[in-house]
Chain A
Amino acid sequence: MKKKLWMIFGPVIVAIAALLILLWAPINFKTVTPQKVQQAATSLDVRVLKGESLKNAAEKENYIPIIGSSELSRMDPFHPSSMAQKYNWKNKPFLQGNPGTASLTQAMNVGGMANLKGNKAVMIISPQWFTKSGVPSDAFKYFLSPLQLTGFILNSDHGDKAMNKYVAGRILDLGVSKGPIEDGALERISEGKQITSFQRFYIKNFARSSLQSQDNLFGSVSMNDHENMIKKASSQLPDTYDYKHLNKLAIKLAEKHSTDNDLQIGNSFYKKQLKKRIDIYKNAHKHVTYTHSPEYNDFEALLYMFAQNKVEVMFVIQPINPYWVKYTGMPMSSITNFDTKIKYQLRSQGFNNIVDLSNVKNSNYIAEDTIHMGWRGWLMLDHHLKGYYKDKKANPKNTQYKMDSYFLTDTWANNTKFSNNK
């Protein structure tokens, strides 16, 4: 009888034991190799964004993150990853962002990169994030990493209290629920209280340690691979870097790839996304504004995360295709007002490195489609990145941030008259 029982339950017991060891035993599964990191740098796989181990490994090597959203997938020859490969930049871009990621997702992401401390980063801002309703709950939930969430909860006993309160409250408001204990901890943080010792014990020893093992085990298995795409893109570049020459090449390539419309939009994008319904966009954005949005508060949370880790950041304001602006009837003031507001938020707290591509003299072929930079847009950014990428350590003089919790308030989210008086 004993043997019979063992034949029935033995395999189950062995399987459970193996699972427990895999998920909770303090074994470091060395799955992150330099090759994996290299692949992850351009992979844009959502597991890279939601994980921690790959990005923290990359911070120990020669990578500087470019944090953004959908534009990162526009991998033409002038994409920073392609340029870095062709012209052997000392540090390489590590791309973090997908269609739908916005400030709060990136705040969690930056919060999870412990090794970013004292290093540099690039942050591409899209005006389109700053809509009246802010980030859609579904998009945020999809990109919310349980691993980064546990990290945020455990770190909530230090760092800026106003920011922690804001982030916890906002996560709950967006309808996130990752289990009763995690929810309870977020609730407490959002009320400005410390988490209980039981919550800390459970989240640290059960939830987080298992999530870390999962990240180690599965975070880099069969990732998306864009290495060939980047290789192909960079092979179209000339051997020597000459801005004027590259600028001409960018125009030439852009002209070649945007022949079926007069909006300077890439053919494949135009054919797939716009051709059939182009008419409905005519003058459709007449009343668009990007100056009243909860996204400003989310963005502030991201700035706090940078400040906490003394990260030197280059901010890039993404251009919008000027022909598209004209076609959709978007008033130029929508963009200039957004620029003024976001720059005020940045500069007044000591974030002074801003590359504004929304406002350049010659904006022909600056975007690859409607709102995503490409071709000349990338090239202009590369020009700034080239120098910035020479050194990956932050200059302590550039990280003297003066954070102001006013930017976490509704008043700021809806404020359009600011200059200097709050």
Chain B
Amino acid sequence: MNNITPYSSPHYFIYLLILLLPIIIGLWFGKRFRIYDMFASIVVLITAFFGGNMSQGISLICYIIFEMLIVFIYLSYRKKHNGFWVFTTFVILAIIPLVFVKLDPLIKNPTISLFAFMGISYLTFKSVEIIMEIRDGVIKEIKPYEFMRFLLFFPTITSGPIDRFRRFQKDVVNVPSREEYVELLHSGVNKLMQGLLYKFIIGYFFGTLLLPKIQILTLSYRGQTPLGLSWALVAYMYVYSMYLFFDFAGYSLFAVAISNFMGVKTPMNFRAPFKSKNIKDFWNRWHITLSFWFRDFIYMRLMFTVIKHKWLKNRVTIANVGYLTLFLIMGFWHGETWYYIVYGLFHAGAMITNDAWLRFKKKHRKSIPSNKFTQAFAIFLTFNVVCFSFMIFSGILDKLWF
């Protein structure tokens, strides 16, 4: 048997909902069956990670033990001390497995990524969040099984959304009232159906039916025109963007829906991102839990450090350096290829430009019109800038040029 990627086929939901039925009935009657919850989690994790040669499953177990050691050693240290460098060391330790996995394709040495398994990024985000909040003193106590339950919460394990420990904890220790749970069921059913529409109908149309054809057409211009550019590439850009959104948003809706059935209000990952009126707005609507994670745990902390140590004076420069760092890290996180890095730089550039424009607009408020037409134009422009960035992200240029 092979690993079954969660939510990858419509059949998966039939089995999953049967497995969830006791949990749903329990919550309906105001009870959480802790043992059954654990059992269901183990079943899903086994089908997802222990199919085939079990290498992913073993990696997952090693990874969890490793992260647990780091978090709990740091927790006991933090109760007495609060050294900056100790904290930094622990954060670095926590992301080392992920760094190895990400570097792997670059150094072409498959043995190094001991920890490679589906979803390692998302578990690392969660671990780092806990370490940072322990340092802040907002997480004072955490039990090993709570840590595992949070990290291994199966609806979100492979691709998020990235929940926060304290928010998650509040949901799982509580049992929702009947009225609340009916609302959760309502939201769960709606999101599940929306997700099916997104991923298996619209996403399938763009990704499986349209994309391969357009890709062949686009690549047929390789070496035929300057840089292989063609109108097909423009079509590819839009089709890929649509595919990326509907596939990922569909997936995220499933994760939220299944969480809801289990009485957990996992945060949403997308909020009509193509309606964004500027690039900053876009990042508040696209892969929200990831961009908020980057905002809270990288950008804000970097800003704070830079201002505290007075490394830079000019507020604009500080913000711009912050964007560059943030999006470079995001680029590197996606993978060590030139197009992910360029994607990161492109977005940093877009953010910096956007900020500059907003400052300019503020100064010349009277002479710059703002009406329905300019707002529509803003949405149109943002949409195209975003699609262009996804075209870089897709790696098609790599295939076209190299």
Give the chain B neighbours of A14 by CB distance below 8 A: none
A5 vs B178: C-alpha distance when bound (angstroms): 12
A281 vs B224: C-alpha distance when bound (angstroms): 18
Give the chain A neighbours of B220 by CB distance below 8 A: 272
Give the chain B neighbours of A12 by CB distance below 8 A: 189, 193
- Type the 1/0 row for B166-206, where 1 means its CB is closer than 8 Å to any CB of A: 00000000000010001001100100010000000000000
Specify the chain A residue showing the minimal Cβ separation from B190.
A8
| Residues of chain A in range 2-34 having any CB-CB distance to chain B below 8 Å | 4-5, 7-9, 12
| Residues of chain A in range 264-289 having any CB-CB distance to chain B below 8 Å | 272, 276
A5 vs B183: C-alpha distance when bound (angstroms): 10
User: If A276-B223, A276-B224 touch, does A8 touch B193 (CB 8 Å cutoff)?
Assistant: no
- Type the 1/0 row for B126-139, where 1 means its CB is closer than 8 Å to any CB of A: 00000000000000
Q: Is the CB of B223 within 8 A of A8?
A: no
A7 vs B220: C-alpha distance when bound (angstroms): 51
Q: Is the CB of B185 within 8 A of A8?
A: yes
A12 vs B185: C-alpha distance when bound (angstroms): 12
Give the chain A neighbours of B193 by CB distance below 8 A: 12
A366 vs B182: C-alpha distance when bound (angstroms): 72
Specify the chain A residue showing the minimal Cβ separation from B1.
A180
Specify the chain B residue showing the minimal Cβ separation from A12.
B189
A272 vs B220: C-alpha distance when bound (angstroms): 9
Nearest Cβ in chain A — how far from B190, in angstroms?
A: 8
The listed residue (B178, B189, B224) touching A8 by CB distance below 8 A is B189
Nearest Cβ in chain A — how far from B180, in angstroms?
A: 13
A8 vs B182: C-alpha distance when bound (angstroms): 9
A290 vs B246: C-alpha distance when bound (angstroms): 46
The listed residue (A1, A8, A272, A276) touching B186 by CB distance below 8 A is A8
Give the chain A neighbours of B224 by CB distance below 8 A: 276
Give the chain B neighbours of A4 by CB distance below 8 A: 182, 186
A12 vs B186: C-alpha distance when bound (angstroms): 11
Give the chain B neighbours of A9 by CB distance below 8 A: 185, 189
A154 vs B127: C-alpha distance when bound (angstroms): 53
Give the chain A neighbours of B189 by CB distance below 8 A: 8-9, 12
User: If A9-B189, A12-B193 touch, does A1 touch B182 (CB 8 Å cutoff)?
Assistant: yes
A5 vs B223: C-alpha distance when bound (angstroms): 60
Nearest Cβ in chain A — how far from B152, in angstroms?
A: 27
Nearest Cβ in chain A — how far from B68, in angstroms?
A: 36
Q: List 18 A-B contacts (CB under 8 A).
A: A1-B178, A1-B182, A4-B182, A4-B186, A5-B182, A5-B185, A7-B186, A8-B182, A8-B185, A8-B186, A8-B189, A9-B185, A9-B189, A12-B189, A12-B193, A272-B220, A276-B223, A276-B224
Spell out A's residues near B (CB within 8 Å): 1, 4-5, 7-9, 12, 272, 276
A-B pairs, top 3 by smallest CB distance, nearest first, are: A8-B186, A8-B189, A8-B185
Other 16 A-B pairs with CB < 8 A, given A8-B186, A272-B220: A1-B178, A1-B182, A4-B182, A4-B186, A5-B182, A5-B185, A7-B186, A8-B182, A8-B185, A8-B189, A9-B185, A9-B189, A12-B189, A12-B193, A276-B223, A276-B224
